[in-house]
Amino acid sequence: METTKYIWLNGKMVNWEDAKINVITHALHYGSAAFEGIRAYKTDKGPGIFRLEEHIDRLFYSADALAMKLPYTKQELMDATCQVVAQNNVESCYIRPIVFYGYGAMGVSVANAPIDVCIACWPWGAYMPHEMVDVKIVNHRRLSPHAFKADAKIAGHYINSIMASLELKGTHYHEGILLDEQGYIAEGPGENVFFVKNGKLITPKLGNILAGITRRTVITLANDMGIEVEEKQILPNEAYEADEAFYSGTAVEICPIHSIDDHIIGNGKFDGISKTIKEAYNKAITMKNPKHQDWVTLCSDSKASKSESAI
């Protein structure tokens, strides 16, 4: 992977290679970390972070699900994120804030474990190297909301996504879809999923899925354009018969689906509503949608990004 120069770690900017933790860190053993995936895009006014506030809000929600009281405010973490992007001098990048139970206490209890906070960024191009993807409904099921808050972004949850992706290794499928415990479509290992039927966008309702910020963005953009959106339970057969389908997510952005379980979706081409949504999304992330300029936080506007004091 490509790296950058600095990582923000517990309030200080440190060199990338010095951002180290002990191997007896609690989160390494038990997955007790909450994290975010954010992107910054090149805009006419320098790098702009897409939906920063929503991501930091979700980070606090996930941390709260882990009973973790973060030692920083939301504003401090937003400023630190801007600082990381600005001081690494990148035009666009992927940003990974992570908060975790650290080194100092072992055993499942976190009562005596310290909390560490880290924000890194690095250049990261297209997550899916294909214009359209072939998808399989995998055997692994989405974590049950009865087991834990399914809409918190917790490191330990991702074992499920990792195993779902491993199911496809060596096959012609590019990505998976997980069903929920009742057998309805849930989401991809790192993406939400949308279908188009008779001019309407359909997506799994909240409850068993990560409440994707891109998903929310797509719904707002569709509403703006007068495209009807329905959030509901979707069975695999309904998915096979969709006119179009696509994934949404910060990493994957808008990624059209060519086939599911070898059923070609619609005419098998990337056009129609999926294309309209992707075009609208591309405008929004680069501040070219006048109605939603506030979705982008310009790093140059941040006071923290101008400060050298943390280095």
Ligand X SMILES: Cc1ncc(COP(=O)(O)O)c(C=O)c1O
As a 3-state breakdown, the chain gives helix, strand, coil percent values, each rounded to 5, of 30, 30, 40
CA distance 252 to 125: 10
153 is catalytic: yes
**Contact between 187 and ligand X per CB under 6 A:** yes
Residue 92, helix vs strand vs coil: coil
**Contact between 249 and ligand X per CB under 6 A:** yes
CA distance 305 to 219: 32
Looking at beta carbons only, is 34 or 84 nearer to ligand X? 34
**Contact between 180 and ligand X per CB under 6 A:** no
Q: How far is the CB of 252 from ligand X (least distance, A)?
A: 8
Dihedral (C-alpha) 263, 266, 272, 275: value to the nearest 10 degrees? 10
Looking at beta carbons only, is 83 or 248 nearer to ligand X? 248
Q: Which of 43, 81, 250, 305 binds ligand X (CB under 6 A)?
A: 250
Looking at beta carbons only, is 127 or 173 nearer to ligand X? 127
- Provide φ and ψ at 234, rounded to 5°: -125, 125
* Residues of this chain, 32-91, that bind ligand X according to CB under 6 A: 37
Contact residues for 184 (Cβ-Cβ < 8 A; gap 6+): 204, 208, 233, 234, 235
Looking at beta carbons only, is 31 or 37 nearer to ligand X? 37
Q: Which of 191, 246, 254, 281 binds ligand X (CB under 6 A)?
A: 191
Q: How far is the CB of 213 from ligand X (least distance, A)?
A: 4
CA distances from 71 to 27, 99, 286 (A): 17, 10, 32
Q: Tell me which residues touch ligand X (CB under 6 A).
A: 37, 161, 187, 190-192, 210, 212-215, 248-250
- The residues annotated as belonging to the active site are 153
